[in-house]
Amino acid sequence: MKRMFSIIIAAAIGLGAVFVPATSAQAGSIYDVAALSNLRNMVNTMTCSAYLGPTGNYSGVTAAALAQQGWSRDTNVNIQVWIEGTGSIWRALAQDTRNGSEYAFSSEGTFAGRTGGSAGLSSPQPALVPTTATFTVNGLDNSIDLEGLAVALAGVPLAALCDSTVFMPGTHGAGSSVTDQTLACKSAALASGASIRSVLLALRSAGGPAMIAMIAAQFAVTQPATVPTWVNGTAPKPTSAKTPPATLPPFFRLPKKAAQFANEYSVTQPIAETIMKQCLWLVASAGSGDPYKRCSDTPIFASGQSDVSEATNHDLIALATINPGWVALNFRPSGENPAAPDWYKTVLPCSVGYDLDKNCDEFPFRATEEGGPGASLMVIDKGQNQLQGSLYSSFLSNRGFYGKPVGEREFLSVPIPSTSPLLPSLGFCYGQMTALVG
């Protein structure tokens, strides 16, 4: 078996692969030699995988596939892998969870202070050591294409990219009021030869997929790329989300994600594309986490156009003009809501704008932690207002929300836009799709 593996490596090198020889580690932790060695061995095995795999590139790599070629992750080493572009580029970070140093590798291009084909200490070092050791591959279907995003951001000042992250949530392991992600971004921007690409790579490797997504939504959707006015400190954090473009930019990788969603929920491709485009965009615009992860593992209530268009359009307006963060809501039974049921009757437009055929519609929904005073109000058709409430209740019931404790009641509100197919209200949760009935 060892002889066969040596032959495979030799064949791969003959095809132009990059073989990383074992050299002494430049490290201060007793665990670093093993971590670097594990990364280098993975590099050699990944090289073979690119030529021997069914796709002819790195897009289908898995831990199981690498194990078949003789490599496995050391027990205490945490490894993150990113597949870029069309699958021909890959990058990785490796770090021992027992207070080890972080090491980086990129098949091409500078990444974490390393030139292409070189495995070694990453720069800058992360503020925190991972607490668990896993092998995670961020593939073509579950992350923004950073290579494509870097091209779309051409001309945007590096300082502006980093300044935009100041408003976004992140970790504070370094003990600074500024997030670890912003510190990593600014450090990368000051490095010799810094580029948009190297800064984005540094930001993402520091644990900032949500920041990358929000940057993509804020900067790169309009051409040429422009700097949002709130970045330079003259305006507050944005309180409005852009309207989703008719076609998301290719760096959002919608086709593969939509196909994955369609397969998981047994829905047609047009439905999958509608829901995923809207979900990815709303989560990215709000900075509410990694949109690829959030839109996959969080229940989704998709208010429809064919049954409750007036209520759905109110939700869309509220998300676009008041608070994009309302895409992420938490169910709260009405009995736990401290606000009076008719609190809105003294608030415009509901204090004067409705009659027997009209109702005051609230968004976020009253039965959420975010609902109540401060919510968006609009006078709409009485029947549609009450039907949407019934559909929302059906969603909660079908997904078991009424029995969940506080802290486990989160869902995404993803209203279906009027420019999309006239779909009814739908509910999605962990591989199950339900056409909601009020």
Tell me, what's the pLDDT at 11? 36
Tell me, what's the pLDDT at 51? 64
**CA-atom Rg of the chain in angstroms:** 24
Residues with Cβ within 8 Å of 39's Cβ and at least 6 positions away in sequence, in order, are 77, 79, 92, 94, 103, 105, 119
Would you place residue 21 in the very low, low, confident or very high pLDDT band (cuts 50, 70, 90)?
Answer: very low
* pLDDT at 180 > cutoff 50: yes
CA distance 109 to 116: 5
The predicted model gives 257-276 an average pLDDT of 90
Would you place residue 31 in the very low, low, confident or very high pLDDT band (cuts 50, 70, 90)?
Answer: confident
**% the chain with pLDDT above 70:** 85
> At residue 398, what are phi and psi to the nearest 5 degrees?
-65, -30
Residues with Cβ within 8 Å of 262's Cβ and at least 6 positions away in sequence, in order, are 268, 269, 271, 272
CA distance 186 to 189: 5
Would you place residue 415 in the very low, low, confident or very high pLDDT band (cuts 50, 70, 90)?
Answer: very high
Count of alpha carbons within 13 angstroms of residue 415, beta-carbon side? 27
Would you place residue 358 in the very low, low, confident or very high pLDDT band (cuts 50, 70, 90)?
Answer: confident
CA distance 200 to 197: 5
Would you place residue 372 in the very low, low, confident or very high pLDDT band (cuts 50, 70, 90)?
Answer: confident
Residues with Cβ within 8 Å of 383's Cβ and at least 6 positions away in sequence, in order, are none
Torsion sign, CA atoms 135, 264, 330, 344: positive
pTM of the model: 0.77
Tell me, what's the pLDDT at 353? 62
- Residue closest to 209 by CA, chosen among 261, 170, 241, 259: 170
* pLDDT at 223 > cutoff 50: no
The lowest-confidence range among 35-39, 346-350, 363-367 is 346-350
Compute the mean pLDDT over every residue in the chain, rounded to the nearest whole number: 81
Q: Is the peptide bond before 244 cis (omega within 30 degrees of 0)?
A: no
CA distance 426 to 438: 11
Q: Residue 64 corresponds to which amino acid? A: A
Tell me, what's the pLDDT at 166? 83
Q: How far is CA 114 from CA 104, 175, 338, in A?
A: 7, 26, 55
Tell me, what's the pLDDT at 188? 87
DSSP 219-283: HSSSSS----GGGGTSSPSP--PPPPPSS--GGG-HHHHHHHHHHHHT--HHHHHHHHHHHHHHH
pLDDT tens track for 374-414: 898 888 899 999 999 999 999 999 888 888 888 889 999 99
Count of alpha carbons within 13 angstroms of residue 259, beta-carbon side? 5
* pLDDT at 226 > cutoff 90: no
Tell me, what's the pLDDT at 362? 92
* pLDDT at 120 > cutoff 90: yes
CB 345 within 8 A of CB 360: yes
> At residue 19, what are phi and psi to the nearest 5 degrees?
-100, 130
Would you place residue 78 in the very low, low, confident or very high pLDDT band (cuts 50, 70, 90)?
Answer: very high
pLDDT tens track for 326-357: 999 999 987 777 777 788 888 888 887 666 78
* pLDDT at 274 > cutoff 60: yes
Q: Which residue has the tokens 């490095």?
A: 191
CB 132 within 8 A of CB 71: no
Tell me, what's the pLDDT at 436? 81
> At residue 429, what are phi and psi to the nearest 5 degrees?
-160, 110
The predicted model gives 74-82 an average pLDDT of 92
Tell me, what's the pLDDT at 249? 83
CB 303 within 8 A of CB 413: yes
CA distance 361 to 363: 7
CA distance 210 to 298: 15
Residues with Cβ within 8 Å of 287's Cβ and at least 6 positions away in sequence, in order, are 167, 168, 169, 210, 211, 213, 214, 325
Burial of 312 (0-12, 13-18, 19+ CB in 10 A): buried
Burial of 102 (0-12, 13-18, 19+ CB in 10 A): buried
Would you place residue 257 in the very low, low, confident or very high pLDDT band (cuts 50, 70, 90)?
Answer: confident
pLDDT tens track for 93-114: 999 999 899 999 999 887 888 8
The predicted model gives 144-151 an average pLDDT of 87
Q: How far is CA 134 from CA 48, 51, 303, in A?
A: 22, 25, 37
Where do the DSSP E strands lie in 97-134? 102-106, 120-121
Tell me, what's the pLDDT at 52? 63
The predicted model gives 317-324 an average pLDDT of 85
Angle at 90 between CA 84 and CA 91, to 5 degrees: 110
Query: 8: part of which helix (H) or strand (E)?
Result: helix 2-14
* pLDDT at 210 > cutoff 90: no
CB 272 within 8 A of CB 262: yes
Structure tokens at 390: 């019934």
**% the chain with pLDDT above 90:** 29
* pLDDT at 17 > cutoff 70: no
* pLDDT at 239 > cutoff 50: no
Would you place residue 22 in the very low, low, confident or very high pLDDT band (cuts 50, 70, 90)?
Answer: very low
CA distance 193 to 178: 24
